[in-house]
Amino acid sequence: MIFGPGERGTPPVEPLTLKILVAGGFGVGKTTLVGAVSEIRPLRTEEMLTEAGRPVDDLRGVEGKRTTTVFMDFGRITLREDLVLYLFGTPGQDRFWFLWDELATGALGAVVLADTRRLEDCFPAVDYFERRSIPFVVAVNCFQGVARHPVEAVRAALDLDEDVPVVLCDARDRESVKQVLIEVVRNTMTRPSDHRAGIAT
């Protein structure tokens, strides 16, 4: 006799869903990262850069950038049958930081994406998550043609605690981004249970 789904007392697996933030400076690759790994068509809130924004948008190192996120990016990835991540990319410019508190509500952990050409741009994100006790991983986006620095040099430059993972990644590559997200989940699950408010079932 063949039994269908749900028979013999085996209900379908109810996945654990986790909210992860993707933060970092302007033009560091947050939208690219979410788009590279999302299994659904990412929701993007991008607008064209204008001449009026040039005095406030620092384009050093990203001179070819034409659009910018003005609210968030959203994507989803299933790591296992019982584990689904919802990704929320934050806007990078100072003038949109007031949105971060809303996006951070219920977040289990975060990725701080860093560009070693403009490492200082990720200081606000590092400070934000440290002050709110949200576990995070620093992922160094290895842009083509840019010198790679040892992770310990990045850790020292950002003055990170030893328990904050620092990893290298390519924000364009699905498998590379997936490994970053696995590190976020691993890092978060080693923290005390009172820091896991972002878990929902």
Domain definitions of the chain by residue range: 11-200
Does residue 8 or residue 130 have the better pLDDT?
Answer: 130
Does residue 148 or residue 87 have the better pLDDT?
Answer: 87
- Longest Cα–Cα distance of the chain, Å, equals 72
Name the percent of the chain in helix, strand, coil, to the closest 5. Answer: 35, 25, 40
Q: pLDDT confidence of 146, banded at 50, 70, 90?
A: confident
**pLDDT of 198 over the 70 cut:** no
Q: pLDDT confidence of 1, banded at 50, 70, 90?
A: very low
Does residue 102 or residue 191 have the better pLDDT?
Answer: 102
**Whole-number Cα distances in Å, 179 to 67, 82, 120, 127, 160:** 27, 17, 24, 24, 20
Q: What is the pLDDT of residue 145?
A: 65
Lowest model confidence (mean pLDDT) among 3-12, 95-104, 141-150, 167-176? 3-12
> The whole model's pTM is what?
0.77
**pLDDT of 100 over the 50 cut:** yes
Length reported for the chain: 201
Q: What is the pLDDT of residue 51?
A: 46
Q: Which two tokens mark 43?
A: 């929701």
What's the angle, vertex CA 52, arms to CA 51 and CA 57, rounded to 5? 85
Q: What is the mean pLDDT of residues 102-123?
A: 93
| Residue 62: CA count within 13 A, CB half-sphere | 20
For tokens 């005390």, what's the residue? Answer: 192
Q: pLDDT confidence of 47, banded at 50, 70, 90?
A: very low
| CATH 3.60.110.10 given to domain 11-200 | no
How high does pLDDT run on average in the chain? 81
Strands of 7-66 (E only): list them: 16-24, 43-48
Q: What is the pLDDT of residue 96?
A: 63
Tens-digit pLDDT profile for residues 152-197:
999 999 999 999 999 999 999 999 999 999 999 999 988 765 555 4
Q: Which two tokens mark 128?
A: 């934000």
**Whole-number Cα distances in Å, 62 to 31, 93, 178:** 14, 14, 24
Q: Which residues pair with 140 in a beta bridge?
A: 114, 168
Q: Which two tokens mark 180?
A: 């970053």
